[in-house]
Amino acid sequence: MKQLYDTTKKLAGKYSKPERPVKDKKRKPITEIQQQRNRWVEYFEELLNRSAPMNPPDIEAAHTDLPIDVNPPTKEEIRMAVRQIKNGKAAGPDNIPAEALKSDIEATTNMLYL
């Protein structure tokens, strides 16, 4: 939305977005565009080309067998989920409003149950 607003203002000719000055290594602001670009190049070269740490952190591998329930949802879980849908919100990709799903929770549950 902000990008749309900025583009509209730019096209209307009333665009004045203040630029934040780039600072050099001594924390002094740089005003010239070419010097700012050079500072960005210098910053990213330092950031991306630094050497690896001498003592890398000892990070343990994550567990791959996590207790995740991969079974299909039960009718009671579907019923609870339908009840928790908020009214007045935009319909999803199926274009069914929440109020329609909640009008008959049992019928909705039976349709959604596999």
* Residue ranges per structural domain of the chain: 18-51, 75-112
pLDDT along the chain (114 residues), means of 10: 80 68 90 91 92 82 84 95 94 93 95 90
Contact 82, 102 (CB under 8 A): yes
Helix/strand/coil for 29: strand
Question: What confidence score (pLDDT) does residue 18 get?
Answer: 64
CA atoms of 48 and 43, how far apart (whole Å): 9
Longest dimension (CA), the chain: 69
Identity of the residue numbered 106: E
Q: What is the dihedral of CA 100, 102, 108, 109, to 10 degrees?
A: 170
Question: What confidence score (pLDDT) does residue 100 get?
Answer: 95
Residues facing 22 on adjacent strands: 30
Residues facing 23 on adjacent strands: 29
Contact 83, 102 (CB under 8 A): yes
Answering whether pTM is above 0.85, one says no
Question: What confidence score (pLDDT) does residue 113 get?
Answer: 92
Helix/strand/coil for 12: helix
Residue 54: DSSP 8-state: S
